Amino acid sequence: MRFNAGILFVLIVLSVVSVIAITPTYMSSTTATPTPLPELESLAPSKGLPTENIGPGKPAIVFPGDTFTVIFKQDHTPQTITGGYMYMLKLEGPQLVLYNYTVQVSGSGVNYTVQVPGNVAGGLYDLVLYGSKEYFIPRSVWVITNLADVLRVVHISDLHFGTGYPDELHGSYKRFTGMLMTQILSPDLIINTGDEADTASYKQYIQSVAYRYAFLYPYPVLLNPGNHDWPNDNYIKFYGSTTWYRVIGDKILVAALNTRGDQGYPDWNQLKWLTNILEEYENIPIKIIQLHHPVFFWQGELWMTYNSSIIADPHKYSSSPVSYYWGANLTATRYFLKLCEDYNISLVLAGHIHRDQYVVFHSTRTNTTTYFITTTTFAHSTGTYDGLQYFNINLAKFNLTFPYAPPWFVGFKNYSRTEVYNSIPNWPPYYQGMFVESSNAYVFEVSNYIPNLNLDGNVVFALPWSGDLVGVKTLESENMANVELLDYKIVNGIAYVALHVKLPINSTLGFAIYNYEDATPPEITLKLSVPETPTLNAVNTFYFEIKDIGWGVKDVHATLIYNGEEYPQTLEYYSQDTYRLKLKFTGEEPLTITLIINATDYAGNTVEKAFNITFYPRGYTPTTTTTTTTTTTTLPTTTTSPTTTTTTTTTTTTTSTTTTTTTPPATPTTTTTTTISPPLTTGSPTTTAPPPTTGQAQVNYTGVLVSVIVVIIVIAVAVLLMRRK
């Protein structure tokens, strides 16, 4: 019986061991077909910014342990504020780290004081204050833990959301490509000198805030309004007050002015306010003023004082260096220049004229030097060209350097004031691309032909999301261009995606970030013919619906076949998913042509559809109708040639096998998402919210504990049985 008891013991233990083997369990599961991705514009708060003095265009700038003031707008006055927290996703090495800190809040009405924890990590945070309701203030707290000897700055201007050249769509493309380049260049700070919108409409600021969050997520932006942001109602709704100042690490003072609409210069109240700020912070060594309309329309060096005779009305004297805008009020111009001299202003940044102009103002009265940099439009294209500027500010002893200056850079040299190209180009043929939102993917493409600039660096996108992030797929790569997925986390319905992007000179890169594999080709349908019966000796317009439910339509081509000859046709983009073609044939007898339309989506799936269209003389009763033929082509996974069949009922499908896919670092079959909530401990990164590491298994140890207890009980019972025998 001892032998039998031992067998019983072994069998029981073996059965328990099989229970102990751990299978990871996940927080939630992914549906087979996730809901469509939310629109990028959903990143912007539809009711605007609740605060007046901080936000995505002017974050509070603090050291760990500092306090700052939050002023709510009157129409957002809280009943009570009982607490708050701030959080960010930060790329550290190859991993995204979620930092979430409790902040101490006191105050009432519209005025509150917020204290940052003493051991907070450096970076740019979203702030959430809560009480009677929750207030989300995006990109609004910039924590500086140390300030290096060099501050790296990107200067952009005139984004003009809502327009572009040759159309608004291409303007959106340039805004994306410029923001991508900005991230790769990795500045410490972005200064934006206005004309954020084109017509100051609500929708344009929605787009502005969304793009800023999605494609410039890690970087603080300091923004002032331009004349296209006038009147400022919608600007204030989304960005708060139009004049403000910030102190960066006790070394830099930045003040923003509003040069208003057609006036083109600040009013007297602003100049008095600026005087008081300069007086209060006179001991700050580096002072920067940002505004929209440039003081000068000039290129090169000026040796003078504020009251020199050369400061004249440019409408009367073409030799005057003063711009037309400031020339309308020379009293304001001279007062501003006197401030530059008396308070040793280091740098004045402007935009508006859609071209570059660099001026060095040497004061012969105070022996001070002020640099005036006017940067071209970021994405509008009208005027001359699109671009951005990158410069380093030496904080130990103020000077400017331009490490990525293009070969044609003239800097502050005396030169023709209409022929200066100092900016890094963001326009064809040097640098161009696009980005597409589709149901299940964000698709990006960019080409770099800037002759002196290899773009190679990390970026973090913040994209509205649903389901899991399945992968990042390279769709196109030329000349060693490459994208690598470093890490991702899904937090509060936003996918924070860290990528390493490599764009050597003369290279092109296309890639998709997706939540669902697209194996379905586009659909092509003839929706309408005008006139309804195709008619000879008249212009006929055919409307085709070409849509793709997965990653979106990439290319559309058409060929007309008549009398055995092929004639390439261009389908005109008419509206979303709709293309049109105009045809005219002459004759007196019915004739039939074949129109072949080929459409490819961004996943590489292709459909080809043939339409046999018969044209009739006017008044003729047709005896046949338009017929269609669809061809199916399937590329095999081996290297053999594709097989092609033609029927009148099937759909052409081509699946590309030449793409590469980067999957998340640890890809489960289910999704883990994080919801940000106030941390339970103050002053340290939270670990109390659902686990921040998205895409990795979250192990459930409950089964392990139960199994261990069972093992102990079984062993005890076995020992007792053996002793009794």
pLDDT at 680: 42
pLDDT at 15: 30
Q: Is the pLDDT of residue 649 over 60?
A: no
| C-alpha separations of 484 from 98, 472, 503 in Å | 21, 8, 12
pLDDT at 645: 33
Q: Are 103 and 115 in contact (CB under 8 A)?
A: yes
**Domain chopping of the chain, boundaries:** 42-143, 150-425, 431-514, 523-634
Residue 50: CA count within 13 A, CB half-sphere:
18
Question: What fold characterizes domain 42-143?
Answer: Immunoglobulin-like (2.60.40)
pLDDT at 630: 59
- Position 690 confidence tier, pLDDT thresholds 50, 70, 90: very low
Q: Is the pLDDT of residue 659 over 70?
A: no
d(C-alpha 233, C-alpha 5), whole Å? 85
Q: Is pLDDT larger for residue 305 or for residue 716?
A: 305
d(C-alpha 225, C-alpha 159), whole Å? 11
For 235-260, what is each residue's pLDDT tens digit? 999 999 999 999 999 999 999 999 99
Equal CATH topology for 150-425 and 523-634 = no
For 25-61, what is each residue's pLDDT tens digit? 223 334 467 789 999 999 999 999 999 999 999 999 9
For 429-473, what is each residue's pLDDT tens digit? 999 999 999 999 999 999 999 999 999 999 999 999 999 999 999
Across 161-241, the runs of DSSP E, i.e. the strands, are 189-192, 221-223
Q: Is the pLDDT of residue 619 over 90?
A: no
Of 3-7, 167-171, 391-395, minimum mean pLDDT range: 3-7
Q: Report residue 8 as tokens.
A: 């019983």
Question: What fold characterizes domain 150-425?
Answer: Purple Acid Phosphatase; chain A, domain 2 (3.60.21)
Question: What fold characterizes domain 523-634?
Answer: Immunoglobulin-like (2.60.40)
Q: Is the pLDDT of residue 677 over 50?
A: yes
Q: Is the pLDDT of residue 695 over 60?
A: no
What are the strands of the beta sheet with 482-491, ordered from one edge? 455-464, 494-503, 482-491
Give the contacts of 592 (CB within 8 A, at least 6 positions apart). Answer: 612, 613, 614, 615
pLDDT at 31: 45
For 530-584, what is each residue's pLDDT tens digit? 999 999 999 999 999 999 999 999 999 999 999 999 999 999 989 889 999 999 9
pLDDT at 446: 98
